[in-house]
Amino acid sequence: MERLKSGLGFIFSSYKRTAAILFVAALALAIPITITLVGQQQDVRQRAASPSSPCGSLGDVNGDGKVDSVDANLLLSYSAGKIPISRIVAANSDVNGDGKINSIDANLLLSYSAGLISTFTGCNTNVISGTVFIDTNGNGVQDSGETEYTGNATIKLQNGKTATKFGNGFYFTEVANGNYTVTLTLPSGYTKTTQSDVSVTVPPSPGTFKFGIKSTGTPSTPTPKPTSILPTPTPTPKPISILPTPTPTPKPISILPTPTPTRTPISTDRIPPTSVITSPELGSTQTGNFYVSVTDSDNTGGSGLAKCEYAVTDYNNGFTVGRTGRACNSQILITVGPNGNCRTEGINKCTVRADSTDNAGNLASLSFRSFSIAYAGTGGPPTVTPTPTRVPTSSPTPTTTPTTPCRIPASLNVGTGGYGDVNGDGQVTSVDSNLILQFTSGLIKFTPAQIEAADVNGSPNVLSSAGNVNSIDSTLILQYVAGLISTFPACPTPTTPTATPVVTATLTPTPTGIPSGTTSLSLSITLTGIGVSQNPASGINNNPKRPQRNVGVTIVNSGNQQVGSFNSTIDYDAATGKYKGNVNLGSNFVSGSYLVKVRFDNTLWKTIPGIQNITSGQTYKAPEATLVSGDIIQDNEINLLDYNALLSCFGTQACATKVQADLNDDDRVEELDLNILYAGFAKRVGD
């Protein structure tokens, strides 16, 4: 069986667990890994080098030559105001090339380090950055002890573009490929010690420059020195001061209404706008060019929408459309084909992202939706015409905004507001998700009622504390707003029975006691991190806490039609380190050639290798299958949602998905589980 190869050893074995759990998780994330599954006795503790930047040094926030979660954590800390800009390399931080450094850049860094994207939007443009230093000895070189000039300096390109000041550095963003002349206008009271014009070529990005300046002395009043000899008391303008002219002129000025120019809505607006992709349906198959509809809005009394943007990523080609402006509340034309925005065929291979910014500079949470692509053999992607009925209007009754799926029980004594409705406006929107992120970053405080409303992944009828609120709650709210889920874990389970899918075969909950004459499927399944190992230090768990596992089975015929879906349980065989058991396919199962897919409650769907020729009335022994662990939220994809779900359960933290996050089934969620999740990123999408 496949096991994880013994490599660099367990890097986390020496530190003490006395810090907060999130700090421990941050340490665990500081060294991303790549796990290769080869041969026998492999070790889940192997860690490989982090990726370098896809273009120049973009993304390498701490300047260590790697792009990893350490860089993402630094950006999150900076955007939350926890660290100064001097702690980061600002020129490498704007990975989406929008001229701002915020949590969007941090999320892109996490996606890149996890292998979910292959490049950055900012790679399509360049950055030129540099500094101005005080050259005390005038030798044209920044020696030890010579600091950066902290004042405002004018630095321009030959096209007239002016550099932006970040901290003590100066930056040009969104610079096209080419050769540029960077020019410094000397500040008053200084002389140059280096050339004031330098040539910079990009790419590679960032291009760099450095100017040296030296003080000319006290620049206060060098010219009036000779005139100070003249007797100064006599020329004082006494007669002018006698004229009573100042009184009439201020009168009309004071009458002008001064309150109108004040931009109080902008200065006080701290609530971001919302952007939600409304159609087509998530995961729907697109065979030709199509339109994506987006609804954008600002909060009541807000500063108003300033701009709306979108981007498109393709599974094999990364960003095919970088961050691009669009009309707010409009439809976006997405092209399909070998040279289109969506090029890779398959399930959920093309993702459209949309957001907006208000006039106060608040950025909406990113709304994204993935689509399946299939255009081969259709004669090329047909063109489509926009649907005029989807242009949103300012209707006073926005029916698309969901309300809470359930209310807080009165027995908890914190009010009866709705779960997910953090701001108490009667709706569950991305505004509530953003408030949770601000709360977890320490930027705002919640009341007990808000804490309970925010902890949507908590246990039903159990009072939540501030420590229970985390990024998983924020993610679940976004999923609810997008229509991906219909309720929250904190909501009590409905007492009415739910409808079960109709299948052509009999559903059997237990693998034992299958009646004679029925058809059954014999399974043998291997999981990463669980099995037989003679070396306890390898990280392989020989004694899983759940020796009996639920298994899902789907059977597809030669016409690619699903003929049956089954749930059963199979048992762990300690002698072989595999999960084994029989699944009852029923007495009416028809003999034939089939594809068989299987999964556990935290793995991707996996097609058992080969065509399975199953005979009615007999037990068919299927080939062994190795499942990919890490699909904690069970959407048949391993992505940042699973990553966040595992972190929310890390260590002693209580969470709703504790069992699923324990990937090696040792009754602990720790570094080994994180390593297994990283290995799952190599597969990403199930069969």
Average pLDDT over residues 346-366: 83
- For residues 463 and 177, which has the higher predicted lDDT (pLDDT)? 463
Chain segment 243-293, per-residue pLDDT in tens: 444 444 444 433 334 443 333 345 466 778 888 888 998 878 899 999 999
Q: What is the pLDDT of residues 215-240, one digit of tens each?
A: 887 444 444 444 343 444 444 444 44
The upper half-sphere exposure of residue 561, i.e. CA atoms within 13 Å in the direction of its Cβ, equals: 5
* Across 639-645, average pLDDT: 81
Which of the two residues, 353 and 380, has the higher pLDDT score? Answer: 353
List of domains in the chain: 49-124 (1.10.1330.10), 126-215 (2.60.40.10), 268-390 (2.60.40.10), 410-481 (1.10.1330.10), 499-638+647-687 (2.60.40)
pLDDT value, residue 534: 57
pLDDT bracket for residue 183 (50, 70, 90): very high
Indicate the pLDDT class of residue 125, thresholds 50, 70 and 90.
low
3-state secondary structure 285-353: EECCCEEEEEEEECCCCCCCEEEEEEEEEECCCEEEEEEEEECCCCEEEECECCCCCECCCEEEEEEEE
Whole-prediction pTM value? 0.34
Distance CA 125, CA 122 (A): 5
Per-residue pLDDT tens over the stretch 382-400: 444 444 434 344 333 334 5
- Written as one letter, the residue type at 553 is V
Q: Specify which of 121-130, 325-334, 351-360, 429-438 reaches the highest per-range mean pLDDT.
A: 325-334
604 Cβ partners below 8 Å, 6+ apart? 627, 628, 630, 631, 636, 637, 638, 680, 683, 685, 686, 687
Mean pLDDT, rounded, for 634-653: 82
Highest mean pLDDT: which range of 129-143, 154-168, 552-566: 129-143
